Amino acid sequence: MSADGSGRVCAEREQDRMEQASVMLKKGEGRTLKAGGAWVYDNEIASVEGPYRNGDVVNVYDFGGYYLGCGYINTCSRITVRLLSRKKGIVIDEAFMEGRVRDAWNYRKQTVDTSSCRVIFGEADFLPGIVVDKFSDVLVVESLALGIDRWKPVIVEAVKKVLAEDGIRIRGVYERSDSKVRLQEGMERSKGFIGEPFDTKVEIAENGVRYIVDVENGQKTGFFLDQKGNRAAIHSFCKGKKVLDCFTHTGSFALNAGIAGAESVLGVDASLLAVEQARENARLNHLEDRVRFQCADVFELLPELEKQGEKYDVVILDPPAFTKSRSSVKKAVKGYREINLRGIKLVRDGGFLASCSCSHFMEPELFAKTIREAAAGAHRRLRQVEFRTQSADHPILWAADQTYYLKFYIFQILNER
């Protein structure tokens, strides 16, 4: 482009920035944002000055006129503004998005095995509202906010470009923006191919275990990459043991126990589709003789196993989020307490319990208290082996509390001594 042309583009961007609407916060609001958070809630806003459409980038100022950053606005959502940058005068364009993607990928290359990983984790990668998972040579995209949805094609192309520079060719992209959260943003749920169709069953390998990931019909984006390190952590105490894996989904913890040399493993899930996929994964790893799966409600099965006098060397509890809002936390606590109580009772003296919560609203202290109460109800002692959280490709951005959600404990369960 000629010098004149370049100058014209810069002038247009400068004009766009000058015309951005301004969000003014109420007096005393914006504390979370100033501490490093990424969200502005509707009840924090005093006024919006200037023209805008939902999804546009706006500037955010505190009550005293101090610049806090820019982000996209959506008045249909309680989270009215999601911050993209704190730098004054920055231009949100294709180059900005590519820079964010490049930073995210460089971080992963330094911290995790990138054969299959989360490439972009929303707010933690300073791209609020979007998730991109890589399963071998396939990308799965989940877009949860209006503003970032507009940039989705740009972000997808940027991911493909950046990965190609490392010799990684992406053969297909699938969108799993079918969460109910989109309805709260005034958006329709969306699911389907971005670009040319492809076989949506993808084989991946993790911790020595092979899986078929169904990116079209599996939960969320098809597979829970956040538990990778936690699955590896159970290997050391599963060899030669009898293992019960509750809420097994497609069999990931159960298969890790099998690969680690468990004598027998029972994986349980209420979803018949998940159980069928788990059995397929067991056959893929030649573990079908030692790892079996049952379709059942865990809350109903655990008391039945107790009545039968069953005991296990290792019990794993990996339930779905029992709460997705603060209003239902009390009900969730009852669920977590119940499954931990039942699970603990099924562990032999000296055996192990792995217990986790993937709910952001089940705060670490409350989760620990709930397990402690369950152990007291079962008249057993807890000896903590390890506390872990989500894998490094799901980084926790301090002050952005929503990025910290997974809590994972390993305990040895002891009778009274």
For the chain, how are helix, strand and coil distributed in percent, rounded to 5? 35, 30, 35
CA dist 254 → 105, 208, 240, 308 (Å): 30, 13, 14, 22
In this prediction, residues 96-103 reach a mean pLDDT of: 98
pLDDT digits (tens, 9 = 90+) for 387-401: 999 999 999 999 888
Residue 340 has what pLDDT? 98
What does the alpha-carbon distance between residue 394 and residue 118 come to, in Å, rounded to a whole number?
7
Residue 391 has what pLDDT? 97
pLDDT digits (tens, 9 = 90+) for 20-37: 999 999 999 999 999 999
With bands split at pLDDT 50, 70 and 90, how would you rate the model's confidence at 329? confident
Q: Is it the case that residue 203 has pLDDT exceeding 80?
A: yes
Q: Is it the case that residue 193 has pLDDT exceeding 90?
A: yes
Mean pLDDT for the chain overall = 94
Residue type, 201: K
Residue 171 has what pLDDT? 97
Burial code (b: 16+ CB inside 10 Å, e: under 16) for 328-342 equals eeeebbebbbbbbbb
pLDDT digits (tens, 9 = 90+) for 223-252: 999 999 999 999 999 999 999 999 999 999
User: DSSP letter at 218?
Assistant: S
Determine whether 358 is an active site residue: yes
Nearest to 324 by CA among 292, 296, 362: 362
What does the alpha-carbon distance between residue 357 and residue 2 come to, in Å, rounded to a whole number?
56
pLDDT digits (tens, 9 = 90+) for 208-231: 999 999 999 988 899 999 999 999
- Which residue among the candidates 70, 117, 356, 358 is catalytic per the annotation? 358
Using CA atoms of 374, 377, 381, 387 in order, give the dihedral in degrees to the nearest 10.
10
Residue 379 has what pLDDT? 97
In this prediction, residues 320-337 reach a mean pLDDT of: 86
Residue type, 86: R
Residue 369 has what pLDDT? 97
In this prediction, residues 298-307 reach a mean pLDDT of: 97
User: DSSP letter at 358?
Assistant: -
Lowest mean pLDDT among 6-10, 91-95, 138-142, 266-270: 6-10
In this prediction, residues 333-351 reach a mean pLDDT of: 97
pLDDT digits (tens, 9 = 90+) for 265-280: 999 999 999 999 999 9
Residue 70 has what pLDDT? 98
Lowest mean pLDDT among 167-176, 216-225, 251-260: 216-225
Pairing state between β 242-246 and 312-317: parallel
Residue type, 184: Q
In this prediction, residues 93-120 reach a mean pLDDT of: 98
pLDDT digits (tens, 9 = 90+) for 354-387: 999 999 889 999 999 999 999 999 999 999 999 9
Contact between 364 and 409 under an 8 Å Cβ cutoff? The reply is no
User: DSSP letter at 123?
Assistant: G
What is the DSSP code string of 70-107? Answer: EEEE-TTSSEEEEEEE-STT---SHHHHHHHHHHHHHH
Lowest mean pLDDT among 6-10, 85-89, 363-367: 6-10
Neighbours of 46 (CB within 10 A): 14
Nearest to 367 by CA among 388, 350, 345, 348: 388
Task: Please report how many Cα atoms fall inside a 13 Å half-sphere around the Cα of residue 335, on the Cβ side.
Answer: 19
Q: What are phi and psi of 33, to 5 degrees?
A: -65, -45
Residue type, 42: D
CA dist 252 → 225, 242, 277, 394, 410 (Å): 10, 16, 10, 18, 17
Q: Is it the case that residue 7 has pLDDT exceeding 50?
A: no
